[in-house]
Amino acid sequence: MACRNYSVSSILPIPGVVALVFALLTASTWGDTIDFDRDVRPILSNHCYACHGPDENTREADLRLDARDHVFADPATAVIQPGKPQESELVRRILADDPDVRMPPANSKKSLSPAQIDILSRWVAEGATWQTHWAWTRPVRPPVPQLTATRLESTPSQDVREATSPSNDIDFFIQSRLQSAGLTPSPPADRVTLIRRLSFDLLGLPPSPADVERFVSDTDPLAYEHLVDRLLNSAHYGERMAMYWLDVVRFADSNGYHSDEPRQVAPYRDYVIAVFNGNKPYDQFVIEQLAGDLLPDATLEQKVASGFNMLLQTTNEGGAQAKEYLAKYSADRVRNTGSIFLGVTFGCAECHNHKFDPFTMKEFYSFAAFFADIQEQGVGNPPSYPVATTEQLEHLRELDEQIASLRDQIDNADTPELQVAQQSWETSLQGNQEGNAVMPPPIRAILAVTPDQRSETQREELAKHFRNLTPLLAPLREQRTRLETARQAYDRSIPRTLMTVAKEPRPIRVLPRGNWMDDSGPLVSPAVPSFLTSLDASSRPPTRLDLARWIADRQNPLTARAFVNRLWKLFFGQGLAQPLDDLGAQGTAPSHPELLDWLAVEFQESGWDVKHVVRLIVTSATYRQTADPTRLLKERDPYNRLYARQSRFRLDAEMVRDNALAISGLLASDVGGPSVKPYQPAGYWSHMNFPVREWSADTGRDLYRRGLYTWWQRMFLHPSLLAFDAPSREECTVERPRSNTPQQALVLLNDPTYVEAARAFAERILASDAATVDERLRWAYHQALSREPRDSELTVLRAVRDQDAQQYAHDQEAARQLIAIGASQPRAEVDAAELATWTSVARVILNLHETITRP
């Protein structure tokens, strides 16, 4: 609450106003009981904490409204008198007519609405029950709510009543809330919609027509559950989950900042894909990323995982101050670790105590001290390390042995023929100043000594030098050179990645106002926020591994909640608590707090089993609902916060491209490997300097790999990804925006990837068994949308086809130019005009809203 500098005790009562208000606010008009977390805390946080919150530097009137101990410290002078709104200073101030008395003051731009005043007044009258912020306490499994027998009485169809019955415990929580709101669940979606929804959600890819037909015709009562299991066991499941995780951890192929130079980190992406496919427990996943290098007998995989700590932006700019950038890196790790694993805005405490949550500035830098052991330069590209398989290491060992054997043969060669040749060589050098001049100085010095005066060491050095010159050993030397060259090439082919390497921790101190040049702040030791669970590090100084284990501990109230909330978002388009990266006071209270806690505890007790929670969510009746809203739901729950229906949303940028390539038949489905460079507009990198670089598109199958593997240049993100809201990944991104712009339609129509995909799709249409125009259109719809086209759609597409057929029949050159776009070549026997015609039809189908929408 913004406040002038008045002491609390100096406020005069306003009895007439208060009495009038509370005479009007009867129990019958107040309705349901006020919930502090849901109703009161958001008001206090948004309107009061800026002046009466955790930050003592900006606190007014020595009044703190964010902590119970302060609000109710002295009953005689407390600004809130539970059950006595007429005697509560807070209520008097928010109801005051005098602008000099009323809180928040008008100039704060935080004035309360009548509804907010009503909530605060009712809360005090009901006893001012205070709750610790829901996210700061460990989740406890709540009982699964029971539904009354009248839950679906308003649903006319017995079949619908049975279909919307709960499938698992998730549905009881959702339907209990719907029941309280006087709403009923939507009926389940049809099977075609369900398999498309599941396929996009779990694989990021469309289902094939054969898969759709198989599922639709499957009469097994558990057909849906079997489909879920099959998709969860697909290698593409790990790719889909990695798409989201790479946003969260700010994975990119470039360093960011000044020159945005390339870096090698693809093995980390492969690690993430393998983690989700192998269903590694999430707590272990967390520990390996934060401190894999510190684990006892750390494996190569765990060291690769530790590369997480190096995914931040780094600079190699000439003239940059190393001390400044070390401070930036330190703050980045605190900020992003808080967002990624805990879902909190720890970064707000870098320059002052957090304005809304209990994080202090000292705790910010104490948290940073956990990362002080990371070996890095403030300025300069971080080193990368080889990630070799057992087979690769064995091959390198074999090459090394062969090279060493040849080196020994050369060095130890001692035949009469060689001895004669060496004597002849030495004799030829006597008096030959030019020949002597090209000798290395140590060899010239030995030659200056008469043979009988040379030491054993000198004789060996001279013989060794000769063996590397004599034609008699040329075949062995050439063989050695070939093997050395082969070894170097093989070594270069082994992927490399960033890893964390530990060293003696550097000192960390509080930076006043975050100023890296100010060394006046106190030194701090590693520590976690005091209001959360304590850190068990015994008597030794805590390490980064201790921090990782603290985050992954079941006692931590944030970790499980943050992750299951994000899983929920993947499958419903929004989290139970929003925003996903702020579970603190500035976030909204969960729409279903009991369900969020139930999922968090279920996740922990399952052994942090990600697939278990995913399976629970997608097999729920709630997930299987249709996304079609009724008029009642549009009016009562326009944003679908009660989940009486599913949500439709546009596919993410990578999936839009993958979908087009899959429909066209061009998609390369290889899993893992280095980043690739698909088509990009010429000159797009023209302003990227130091050094100047040009985009060189890949060739062959690499052009058609999934968007997950597209080269991620932070400062110049691929324009197709950018158009569909992919983030630059300079910071942790837990939720992408979803825009709807004309630019997106232009990308789908004109980007070479999509034009080529349309042409390849057109070739498939023409090569199908469909003979007539309508049969071909129906076949194309089944490939792209898994359904029959409506009559109105057929009419439009016939007109498109007829118009383009006429155009290309008269302009063969335009037809040839259209079908020539892209690296893949059309079959020579296909008529150019007909292929161009159906390419135009395919472009329309690939550009449909439904084509790029998850149903």
Q: For 445-497, write each residue's pLDDT tens digit.
A: 998 898 989 999 999 899 999 998 999 999 999 999 999 999 999 999 999 99
Q: Report CA-CA distances (Å) from 614 to 565, 599, 645.
A: 11, 10, 18
Asked whether the CA dihedral 385, 386, 387, 390 is positive or negative, the reply is negative
CA 58 – CA 52 distance, rounded (Å)? 8
b vs e for 248-279, b when ≥16 Cβ sit within 10 Å of the residue's Cβ?
A: bbbbbbbbbbbbbbebbbbbbbbbbbbbbbeb
Please return the burial class of 502, using the count of CB atoms within 10 Å of its CB with bins 0-12, 13-18 and 19+. Answer: middle
| pLDDT tens, residue by residue, 102-122 | 999 888 888 999 999 999 999
The torsion angles phi and psi of 248, rounded to 5 degrees, stand at -65, -45
Residue with the two structure tokens 């060493």: 404
CA 272 – CA 256 distance, rounded (Å)? 22
pLDDT at 475: 94
CA 646 – CA 854 distance, rounded (Å)? 11
Integer Rg of the chain from CA: 34
Q: Is the pLDDT of residue 356 over 70?
A: yes
Q: Is the pLDDT of residue 14 over 60?
A: no
Q: How many CB atoms lie within 10 A of CB 850?
A: 14
b vs e for 310-332, b when ≥16 Cβ sit within 10 Å of the residue's Cβ?
A: bbbbbbbeeebeeeebbbbbbbb
Average pLDDT, integer, range 718-735: 97
- The residues pairing with 508 across neighbouring beta strands, listed in sequence order, are 524
- The CA dihedral of 813, 819, 822, 828, to the nearest 10 degrees, is -100
The letter for the amino acid at 65 is L
Q: Is the pLDDT of residue 682 over 90?
A: yes
CA geometry: angle 200, 781, 836, nearest 5 deg: 115
pLDDT at 429: 82
Please return the burial class of 418, using the count of CB atoms within 10 Å of its CB with bins 0-12, 13-18 and 19+. Answer: middle
pLDDT at 194: 99
pLDDT at 73: 75
Where does the pLDDT of residue 539 fall: very low under 50, low under 70, confident under 90, or very high at 90 and above?
low
Closest CA to 130 of 163, 172, 82, 190: 82
CA 534 – CA 542 distance, rounded (Å)? 12
Average per-residue pLDDT in the chain? 92
Domain ranges of the chain: 8-131, 191-233, 281-386+506-556, 390-494, 749-854
DSSP helix/strand/coil, 393: helix
CA 735 – CA 737 distance, rounded (Å)? 7
pLDDT at 431: 65
Confirm if 853 and 651 have CB atoms less than 8 A apart: yes
pLDDT at 454: 92
CA 382 – CA 315 distance, rounded (Å)? 9
The DSSP code sequence of 696-738 is ----GGGGGB-GGGB---STT--HHHHHTT----SS--SS---
CA 655 – CA 661 distance, rounded (Å)? 10
- Percentage of the chain modeled with pLDDT above 90: 78
pLDDT at 160: 56
Residue with the two structure tokens 């040849």: 406
pLDDT at 158: 56
What residues contact 389, with CB distance under 8 A and at least 6 apart? none
b vs e for 669-690, b when ≥16 Cβ sit within 10 Å of the residue's Cβ?
A: eebbebbbbbbbeeeebeebee
Confirm if 350 and 278 have CB atoms less than 8 A apart: no
Where does the pLDDT of residue 55 fall: very low under 50, low under 70, confident under 90, or very high at 90 and above?
confident
pLDDT at 689: 86
Confirm if 290 and 308 have CB atoms less than 8 A apart: yes
| pLDDT tens, residue by residue, 770-823 | 999 999 999 999 999 999 999 999 999 999 999 999 999 999 999 999 999 999
- Among 126-130, 594-598, 718-722, 778-782, where is mean pLDDT lowest? 126-130
What residues contact 719, with CB distance under 8 A and at least 6 apart? 680, 681, 684, 747
Where does the pLDDT of residue 444 fall: very low under 50, low under 70, confident under 90, or very high at 90 and above?
confident
Confirm if 384 and 85 have CB atoms less than 8 A apart: no
CA geometry: angle 675, 679, 680, nearest 5 deg: 100
What residues contact 13, with CB distance under 8 A and at least 6 apart? 92
The secondary structure of 614-663, three-state, reads HHHHHCCCCCCECCCCCHHHHHHCCCCCCCCCCCCEECCHHHHHHHHHHH
DSSP single-letter state for residue 340? I
Confirm if 378 and 326 have CB atoms less than 8 A apart: yes
CA 771 – CA 774 distance, rounded (Å)? 8
pLDDT at 20: 36
Q: Report CA-CA distances (Å) from 312 to 270, 271, 346.
A: 18, 18, 16
Average pLDDT, integer, range 427-443: 74
pLDDT at 434: 59
- Among 63-67, 406-410, 556-560, 640-644, where is mean pLDDT lowest? 63-67
pLDDT at 345: 97
Q: Taking the CA of residue 499 as centre, how many other CA atoms within 13 Å lie in the half-sphere pointing to its CB?
A: 22
CA 309 – CA 250 distance, rounded (Å)? 11
Residue with the two structure tokens 């530990």: 502
Q: Is the pLDDT of residue 590 over 70?
A: yes
The DSSP code sequence of 369-391 is GGGTTB---SSSPPPEEE---HH
pLDDT at 150: 58
Q: Report CA-CA distances (Å) from 588 to 39, 596, 660.
A: 10, 13, 37
pLDDT at 540: 84
pTM above 0.85, yes or no: yes
Residue with the two structure tokens 């087979």: 391
Confirm if 312 and 250 have CB atoms less than 8 A apart: yes
Confirm if 325 and 315 have CB atoms less than 8 A apart: yes
pLDDT at 7: 35
The letter for the amino acid at 101 is V
Q: Report CA-CA distances (Å) from 555 to 280, 342, 348, 485, 604.
A: 20, 13, 24, 55, 10
Average pLDDT, integer, range 374-381: 94
Where does the pLDDT of residue 4 fall: very low under 50, low under 70, confident under 90, or very high at 90 and above?
very low
- Percentage of the chain modeled with pLDDT above 70: 94
pLDDT at 384: 93
Task: Record the tokens describing residue 207, joined without a space.
Answer: 């289902």
CA 204 – CA 243 distance, rounded (Å)? 9
Angle between helix 832-846 and helix 742-750 axes, rounded to 10 deg: 150
Angle between helix 235-248 and helix 559-572 axes, rounded to 10 deg: 120
CA geometry: angle 730, 736, 740, nearest 5 deg: 125
The torsion angles phi and psi of 142, rounded to 5 degrees, stand at -80, 160
